[in-house]
């Protein structure tokens, strides 16, 4: 298997501040799957609240073939997993209102994300956009900007995360709050 360059993953750098996974914390990788932009966010929950470990977006080269896009996304997610060692993955479920071609592409990206998590042996959970928005904003029909602002406030980030990274952080926050017991 080929290694993918770090440039495929853009975002914040991982931070640890001496908090290990054995100290009552729980680290979740949230994924917002998209064929043009896949957002990722790693959030750690513990006695001191929630903390952003890293976030960013994986952007395949514009105009690349579907297999090449999927390879870039798979490599990027694997790199995020290596750099952040999450204990679980939460993936946004497919939004049914899109056109069929977009749904199919999004399904391929979800499959690649799920494969990356499964290869690492972590449990994988899924949440609908409605569940995610309700958990973060309190309203299931919230706009992207509202999600960005609430994620920034909840995680005490210095600035707004990019839209797809904010959605991925929201997925991770949602899982930390709900902690479904049955993985997909």
Residues designated catalytic:
32, 92, 164
Q: From CA 50, how far away is CA 109, in angstroms rounded?
A: 27
Task: Pull the structure tokens for residue 141.
Answer: 């029909």
Q: From CA 17, how far away is CA 23, in angstroms rounded?
A: 13
- Report helix, strand and coil shares of the chain as percent, to nearest 5: 40, 20, 35
Q: List, in sequence order, every beta strand (DSSP E) within 12-113.
A: 26-32, 38-46, 49-58, 88-92
Query: For the sheet containing 49-58, what is the strand order?
Result: 9-11, 49-58, 38-46, 26-32, 88-92, 124-127
Q: From CA 20, how far away is CA 30, in angstroms rounded?
A: 19
């Amino acid at each position: 298997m080929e290694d993918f360059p770090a440039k495929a993953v853009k975002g914040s750098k991982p931070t640890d501040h001496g908090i290990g996974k054995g100290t009552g914390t729980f680290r979740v990788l949230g994924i917002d799957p998209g064929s043009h932009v896949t957002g990722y966010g790693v959030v750690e929950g513990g006695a001191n609240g929630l903390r952003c470990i890293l976030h960013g977006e994986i952007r395949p080269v514009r105009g690349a073939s579907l297999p090449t896009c999927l390879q870039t996304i798979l490599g990027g997610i694997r790199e995020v997993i290596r750099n952040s060692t999450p204990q679980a993955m939460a993936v946004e479920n497919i939004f049914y209102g899109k056109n069929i071609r977009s749904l199919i592409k999004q399904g391929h990206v979800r499959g690649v994300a799920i494969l990356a998590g499964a290869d690492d042996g972590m449990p994988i959970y899924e949440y609908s956009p409605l569940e995610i928005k309700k958990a973060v904003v309190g309203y299931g029909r919230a706009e992207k900007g509202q999600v960005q602002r609430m994620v920034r406030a909840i995680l005490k980030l210095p600035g707004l995360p990019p839209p797809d990274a904010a959605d991925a952080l929201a997925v991770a926050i949602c899982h930390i709050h709900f902690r479904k017991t049955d993985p997909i």
